[in-house]
């Protein structure tokens, strides 16, 4: 039979009460922090995964905000293109009127005035800015891409380049997000040359040239529509990726929560269980401590 | 046939023996909470009888000895258990401190890594923006200071461990010298043949304390002295002599090595607190430091390489973004931003003069002239975060850091579990020792009654003999 000594009893009691209290402490920490993984050692795998998730969601959040930027840029580009297209429509109307065969020198001069207005409008559209940088300058976004040079000559030159600006929409998608002035206005037939020729032809009542330029305007419009379709497609893609990233973040956050968040019901019930255990152990100890043979000796 | 005075002698011896029994019981009760105390018991025997023609006549009781009740084998197991438990305890204490360096929170290194690369991604949306450029510098500075502070904390913990190693060596020496003087005291106390129980208990407790610090093995020689060797056979105490351990600060890092005589025993200590401290100081923490440094080096190198491919707003080729770690120094500890870039965000090379190196290559791709609106290098820098560039090309940076967290976490978890197991084992062995050597108060209460009753009976016996003797004398008196 094993001899039982007070030191043994105390030691065993201490070991058990320490264990019970550490369970209680663990449950309390879970309840107060709302997390079941408070230290790496609580669950190294969950902690590692949670750390990776933290990094992934942070990257996704960044993509989401970059996507918003891209979308705004696309919206402004679309607005500018629409404005250019309707400006070209105006120019086509002017050309058609000039071709009607009933023009007088007064009406021609008014029509030429109108043609000059379309040039100014086009110039304003192609020099549109977004957040202080020029939309249609290629990558030379810090200076107006289309300028009249020399001033007053009516000669519009392109100072931008034909370089693409890319955006990374998610980890695997890189897209061009700009329409260059080159594609927009400089490609043949050139928008500004066409408009300037049109103006001169109207002034000179040169119907052959007016008819030729009208044809050119059609093909420029077509080009702008193609570019606008590209802008629209990009916008759609950005929207799709945006919603995919949001879904992904939700899923990641759910996984993180599953791995590291405390189940409150479970934690609270664990806490109560541990607390009951501690109370019972303490009260048993208090009672046992009183029992000794010495108490019964006269 | 005995005499009346002989009977008085029997009574007297009995009284003394029972009195001694009471004393020993009292001493046991008094030492019920004394660590290392082994209960004592009075060993009584019948005193040599007188041989007469009618046979042997008893002469009462003799006390042979007062002995300590102990089991040497169980005590060895306690020593062993104490050593193992102390090692795990030391390890888990250190690792809990270490894991707080790597614990996940909102300001963790992991966050800084992603925020740093994200800042390039933000810059890519508007490469001319001054505020976006400043934000890159802020995030880079945060990343650098985060690396530095993690690395510095590890260095501090390691330094602290180093001081603890020295302090443990001092404690070992002090205990060893106390044990050696007890050895001598025991020899002289036991010269008369009696067992020096109290001194032995003290010595046992000191050995127990010693075994918390370092792995010791010991044996008791014929003369009652113990010889102790530490760390796999290095003599520490031989009778009255001590071969002290020495803590010697050793280049290149000034870490303390433990020497016994001319032998370096630093790596031979297998258990006890010293073993835990040395393992954490020389193996675990350096491994974490290496991982952290590798991660820092990978980040510094890849960012610098990519930055060199870019063009800044002045039209110059990108310079080093981070200061490259000098050889022989910790990359994490010296992680810092190139001051030229820190002072001027325009020097961040966000554009490129060559084609965008990422795939799938978008079309059309007319190349890059390094114009201010070109964001291709910023995109490439941001994209470093999602490439497997760490750990020899097998992990992304954030995965590599998470893997380091996992390593620290499992090490700590393992150490905590070991402490639990070893503590439970140690408590069991201690209980086993107590069941042999410990003082049971109930048992002592019974002893108290036994000796008290025997004492009372002996006293009664003496009183009867006294009465008989008086009667005899009074009879003789009337006759005379």
Is there a contact between B415 and B88 (Cβ–Cβ < 8 Å)? yes
**CB contact (8 A) between residue A133 and residue B126:** yes
Nearest residue on chain B to A138, alpha-carbon basis: B373
| B313 CB-near residues (< 8 Å, 6+ apart) | B128, B346, B347, B348, B350, B372
Residues in chain A: 298
Q: Which residues of A touch B374 (CB under 8 A)?
A: 139, 163, 165
Report pLDDT for A152. Answer: 76
Q: What is the residue-wise DSSP string for B136-194?
A: HHHHHHHHHHHHHHHHHHHHHHHHHHHHHHHHHHHHHHHHHHHHHHHHHHHHHHGGGS-
Q: What is the pLDDT of residues B369-387, one digit of tens each?
A: 778 888 888 988 998 988 8
Helix (H, G, I), strand (E, B) or coil at B265: coil
Mean of pLDDT values over B258-268: 89
Least confident of A292-296, B112-116, B253-257: A292-296
Which of the residues in chain A have pLDDT under 50?
A: none
Q: How far is B40 from chain A (nearest CA, A)?
A: 14
Q: How many CB atoms lie within 10 A of CB A45?
A: 13
Q: How far is A40 from chain B (nearest CA, A)?
A: 4
More reliable by pLDDT, B85 or A105: B85
The number of helices, as runs of H, and strands, as runs of E, in chain B is 11, 13
Measure the CA–CA gap between B377 and B298, rounded to whole angstroms: 18
Measure the CA–CA gap between B437 and B431, rounded to whole angstroms: 10
Question: Max alpha carbon distance in chain B (Å)?
Answer: 150
Nearest residue on chain A to B433, alpha-carbon basis: A8
Q: Identify any residues that bridge with B50 across adjacent strands, giving them in sequence order.
A: B57
* Residue A10, token pair as written in the block: 């105390």
Measure the CA–CA gap between A66 and A56, rounded to whole angstroms: 15
Residues in chain B: 480
* Residue B104, token pair as written in the block: 């996940």
Report pLDDT for A292. Answer: 75
Report pLDDT for A298. Answer: 62
Measure the CA–CA gap between A274 and A293, rounded to whole angstroms: 33
**CB contact (8 A) between residue A139 and residue B351:** yes
Report pLDDT for B367. Answer: 64
Report pLDDT for B126. Answer: 87
Helices of type H across B234-311: 272-279, 285-308
Mean of pLDDT values over B72-98: 93
ipTM, 2 decimals? 0.83
Report pLDDT for B174. Answer: 96
Q: Which residues of A touch B352 (CB under 8 A)?
A: none
Mean of pLDDT values over B415-434: 92
Reduced to 3 DSSP states, what percent helix, strand and coil does chain A have, rounded to the nearest 5? 70, 5, 20
User: In 3D, which of B146, B15, B4 has the Cα closest to residue B458?
Assistant: B15
* Residue B206, token pair as written in the block: 């000191």
Residue in the block written with tokens 């790597």: B102
- Please tell me which of the candidates A56, A139, A171 has its beta carbon nearest to residue B374: A139
**CB contact (8 A) between residue A39 and residue B113:** no
Size of interface A-B (CB pairs under 8 A): 213
Cis peptide bond upstream of B408, omega within 30: no
Q: Which residues of A touch B443 (CB under 8 A)?
A: 3
Report pLDDT for B363. Answer: 44
Q: How far is B94 from chain A (nearest CA, A)?
A: 13
Q: Which residues of A touch B129 (CB under 8 A)?
A: 131
Report pLDDT for B442. Answer: 87
Q: What is the pLDDT of residues B301-328, one digit of tens each?
A: 999 999 998 889 888 889 999 999 887 7
Q: Which residues of A touch B413 (CB under 8 A)?
A: 40-42, 44
Mean of pLDDT values over B457-479: 88
* Residue B363, token pair as written in the block: 């079309």
Name the helix (H) or strand (E) containing A27: helix A6-33
User: In 3D, which of B198, B207, B201 has the Cα closest to residue B178?
Assistant: B207
Q: Which residues of A touch B94 (CB under 8 A)?
A: none
Residue in the block written with tokens 């919603």: A243
Q: Which residues of B touch A69 (CB under 8 A)?
A: 125-126
pLDDT reading at B178 higher than 70: yes
pTM, entire model: 0.83
> pLDDT confidence of B214, banded at 50, 70, 90?
very high
* Mutation target among A8, A41, A70, A234 for the B interface, most CBs of B within 10 A: A41
pLDDT reading at B103 higher than 60: yes
pLDDT reading at B358 higher than 70: no
């Amino acid at each position: 039979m094993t001899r039982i000594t007070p030191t043994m009893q105390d030691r065993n009691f201490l070991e058990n009460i320490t264990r019970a209290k550490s369970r209680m402490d663990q449950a309390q920490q879970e309840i107060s922090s709302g997390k079941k993984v408070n230290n790496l050692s609580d669950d190294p795998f969950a902690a590692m995964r949670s750390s990776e998730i933290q990094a992934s969601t942070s990257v996704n959040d960044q993509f989401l905000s970059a996507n918003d930027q891209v979308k705004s840029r696309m919206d402004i580009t679309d607005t500018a293109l629409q404005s250019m297209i309707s400006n070209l429509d105006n120019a086509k109307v002017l050309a058609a009127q000039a071709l009607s065969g009933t023009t007088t020198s007064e009406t021609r001069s008014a029509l030429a005035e109108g043609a000059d207005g379309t040039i100014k409008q086009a110039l304003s559209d192609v020099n549109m800015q977004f957040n202080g940088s020029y939309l249609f300058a290629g990558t030379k976004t810090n200076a107006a891409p289309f300028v009249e040079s020399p001033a007053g000559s009516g000669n519009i030159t392109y100072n931008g380049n034909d370089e693409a600006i890319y955006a990374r929409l998610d980890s695997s998608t890189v897209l061009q997000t700009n329409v260059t002035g080159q594609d927009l206005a400089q490609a043949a037939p050139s928008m500004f040359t066409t408009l300037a020729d049109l103006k001169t032809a109207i002034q000179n009542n040169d119907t052959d040239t007016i008819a030729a330029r009208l044809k050119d305007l059609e093909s420029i419009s077509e080009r702008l529509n193609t570019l606008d379709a590209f802008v629209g497609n990009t916008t759609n893609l950005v929207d799709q990726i945006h919603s995919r990233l949001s879904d992904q973040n939700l899923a990641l956050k759910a996984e993180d929560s599953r791995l590291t968040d405390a189940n409150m019901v479970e934690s609270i019930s664990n806490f109560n269980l541990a607390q009951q255990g501690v109370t019972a152990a303490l009260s048993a100890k208090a009672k046992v401590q009183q029992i000794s043979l010495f108490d019964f000796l006269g | 046939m005995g005499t009346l005075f002989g009977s008085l002698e029997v009574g007297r011896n009995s009284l003394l023996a029972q009195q001694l029994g009471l004393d020993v019981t009292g001493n046991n009760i008094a030492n019920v909470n004394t660590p290392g105390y082994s209960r004592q018991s009075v060993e009584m025997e019948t005193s040599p009888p007188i041989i007469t023609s009618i046979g042997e006549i008893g002469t009462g009781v003799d006390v042979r000895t007062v002995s300590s009740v102990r089991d040497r084998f169980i005590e060895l197991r306690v020593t062993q258990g104490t050593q193992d438990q102390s090692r795990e305890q030391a390890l888990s204490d250190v690792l809990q401190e270490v894991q707080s360096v790597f614990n996940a929170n909102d300001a963790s290194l992991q966050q800084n890594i992603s925020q740093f690369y994200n800042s390039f991604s933000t810059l890519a949306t508007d490469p001319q923006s001054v505020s976006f450029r400043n934000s890159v510098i802020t995030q880079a500075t945060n990343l650098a200071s985060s690396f530095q502070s993690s690395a510095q904390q590890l260095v501090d913990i390691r330094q602290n461990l180093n001081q603890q190693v020295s302090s443990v060596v001092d404690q070992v020496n002090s205990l060893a010298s106390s044990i050696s003087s007890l050895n001598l005291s025991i020899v002289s106390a036991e010269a008369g043949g009696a067992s020096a129980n109290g001194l032995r208990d003290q010595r046992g407790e000191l050995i127990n304390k010693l075994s918390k610090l370092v792995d010791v093995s010991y044996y008791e020689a014929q003369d009652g002295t113990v010889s102790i060797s530490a760390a796999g056979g290095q003599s520490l105490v031989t009778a009255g002599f001590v071969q002290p351990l020495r803590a010697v600060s050793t280049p290149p890092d000034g870490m303390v090595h433990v020497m016994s005589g001319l032998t370096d025993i630093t790596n031979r200590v297998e258990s006890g607190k010293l073993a835990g401290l040395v393992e954490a100081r020389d193996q675990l923490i350096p491994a974490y430091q290496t991982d952290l440094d590798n991660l820092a080096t990978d980040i510094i190198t890849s960012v610098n390489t990519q930055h060199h491919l870019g063009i800044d707003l002045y039209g110059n080729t990108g310079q080093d973004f981070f200061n490259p770690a000098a050889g022989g120094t910790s990359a994490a500890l010296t992680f810092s931003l190139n001051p030229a870039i820190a002072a001027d965000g325009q020097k961040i090379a966000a554009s490129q003069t060559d084609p965008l190196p990422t795939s799938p290559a978008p079309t059309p791709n007319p190349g890059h002239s390094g114009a201010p609106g070109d964001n291709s290098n910023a995109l490439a820098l941001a994209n470093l975060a999602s490439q497997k560039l760490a750990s020899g090309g097998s992990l992304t940076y954030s995965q590599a850091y998470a893997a380091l967290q996992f390593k620290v976490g499992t090490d700590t978890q393992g150490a905590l579990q070991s402490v639990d197991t070893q503590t439970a084992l140690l408590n069991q062995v201690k209980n086993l020792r107590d069941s042999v050597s410990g003082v049971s108060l109930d048992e002592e209460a019974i002893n108290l009654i036994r000796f008290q009753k025997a004492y009372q009976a002996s006293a009664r016996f003496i009183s009867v003999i006294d009465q008989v003797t008086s009667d005899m004398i009074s009879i003789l008196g009337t006759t005379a």
